[in-house]
Amino acid sequence: MKLLEGKTALIFGIANDHSIAWGIAQAMHEHGARLAFSYASQILERRVRPLAEKVNAVFIELCDVSQDEDIAAMFARAADELGTIDILVHSIAFANREELTSPFYETSREGFRIAMDISVYSLVALARAALPLMTKGGSILTLSYYGGQKVMPNYNVMGIAKAALETATRYLAADLGPHDIRVNAISAGPIRTLSSAGISGFKRMYRQFAAITPLQRNITINDIGGAAVWLTSDLARAVTGEVLFVDAGFNILGFPALREQIQL
Ligand code: NAP
């Protein structure tokens, strides 16, 4: 059974075939959605175009979400080539590397601003731009991390950004509910991607994750894709403003069961 037959999705945040947004795009394609992608810089086009071809994306367009004119151009093209859209996927975050390696109290004013602009304000800007194209209602999905709720080593300003992103999800859900537009977040467990490679100590944490979680496994981009399909499909039509954990149960633990095989 295809859950997204007849739906059109605009996907932001594919950098390569390890990106969470790519896992989501593949799952949405398998479920019958028509897709279009943005890419963040000219350098990425070379990697994103072949992926777009694999899932028959209608178009790919450059969109740096810190630039209002890029966002306007992206949605003008979507209006021209797609008409209306049903799904918007926001899988974007950025912080300067030094903010993810130093103590949190050393966060610079400019580093804080950049992280909040690209990782949080962009959701607000994209939701506003999508509104005129979501004429039949719609579903907006963003990606969060548990570091927005609890302290994670070196996640620092991104933790503040994810807390703000989850709150923005709720405010947008309240604003857009009367338009029958749902806004939700998936809080993903750790996955090895370009972004996570910038977090100091991530690899070590990733290696120990499977031994700690209730499901005894790591998370894949396909796991996120499956949850994203459900959340943006009509099966989840009464779900909005939520943060859905897709983390093998890690977030329910107060303290992990210490098993012999955990090497600290
Ligand atoms: P990723 O493949 O590096 O994706 C992040 C995307 O954000 C990239 O395509 C990146 O493009 C884009 N981006 C950064 N600045 C941008 C800008 N100014 N304009 C447009 N796009 C921009 O890493 P990912 O892990 O899949 O991350 C996707 C989302 O999942 C992020 O919100 C991340 O915080 C979240 N998440 C990740 C994990 C994890 O463990 N990986 C866990 C939970 C949540 P560039 O490469 O050009 O910068």
Average pLDDT in the chain: 96
Q: What is the rounded distance in angstroms from the CA atom of residue 182 to the CA atom of residue 239? A: 7
Residues of the chain above pLDDT 70, percent: 98
Nearest atom, ligand 1, residue 165 CA = 32
- Sequence spans of domains, the chain: 8-246
Contact yes or no for 139/87 (Cβ under 8 A) = yes
Q: Which of 64, 70, 92, 220 to mutate to test the pocket of ligand 1 (most atoms within 8 A of CB)?
A: 92
How would residue 257 be classed by pLDDT, with cut points 50, 70 and 90? Answer: confident
Asked if residue 118 has its Cβ within 6 Å of ligand 1, the reply is: yes
Report how far ligand 1's centroid is from the alpha carbon of 91 (Å): 6
The H or E element that residue 188 is part of is strand 181-188
Asked if residue 94 has its Cβ within 6 Å of ligand 1, the reply is: yes
pLDDT in tens, 118-163: 999 999 999 999 999 999 999 999 999 999 999 999 999 999 999 9
What is the pLDDT at residue 261?
A: 56
Asked if residue 15 has its Cβ within 6 Å of ligand 1, the reply is: yes
Report how far ligand 1's centroid is from the alpha carbon of 158 (Å): 12
Catalytic residue flag (residue 145): yes
Q: Is the pLDDT of residue 192 over 60?
A: yes
Three-class secondary structure of residue 68 per DSSP: helix
What is the pLDDT at residue 258?
A: 76
Q: Is the pLDDT of residue 264 over 60?
A: no
Q: Is the pLDDT of residue 178 over 70?
A: yes
Mean pLDDT over residues 172-183, rounded? Answer: 98
Mean pLDDT over residues 194-220, rounded? Answer: 94
Q: Where are the alpha helices (DSSP H) in the chain?
A: 20-30, 42-54, 68-82, 109-116, 122-130, 156-176, 194-197, 202-212, 221-232
145-182 burial code (b ≥16 CB/10 A, e <16): bbbbbeebebbbbbbbbbebbbebbbebbeebeeeebb
How would residue 185 be classed by pLDDT, with cut points 50, 70 and 90? Answer: very high
Catalytic residue flag (residue 146): no
How would residue 263 be classed by pLDDT, with cut points 50, 70 and 90? Answer: low
What is the pLDDT at residue 262?
A: 53
Q: Is the pLDDT of residue 252 over 70?
A: yes
Report how far ligand 1's centroid is from the alpha carbon of 63 (Å): 13
Distances (CA, A) of 3 to 185, 186, 232, 233: 19, 18, 9, 6
The H or E element that residue 245 is part of is strand 243-246
Report how far ligand 1's centroid is from the alpha carbon of 6 (Å): 27
Least confident of 125-129, 224-228, 260-264: 260-264
The residue among 44 and 108 whose pLDDT is bigger is 108
What is the pLDDT at residue 42?
A: 86
Nearest atom, ligand 1, residue 202 CA = 40
What length does the chain have? 264
Asked if residue 20 has its Cβ within 6 Å of ligand 1, the reply is: yes
pLDDT in tens, 54-113: 999 999 999 999 999 999 999 999 999 999 999 999 999 999 999 999 999 999 999 999
Please determine, looking at this structure, whether the domain spanning 8-246 carries the CATH number 3.40.50.300: no
Read off the tokens for 147. Answer: 């570091």
Q: Which of 20, 113, 202, 209 to mutate to test the pocket of ligand 1 (most atoms within 8 A of CB)?
A: 20
Read off the tokens for 135. Answer: 């004429």
What is the pLDDT at residue 43?
A: 87
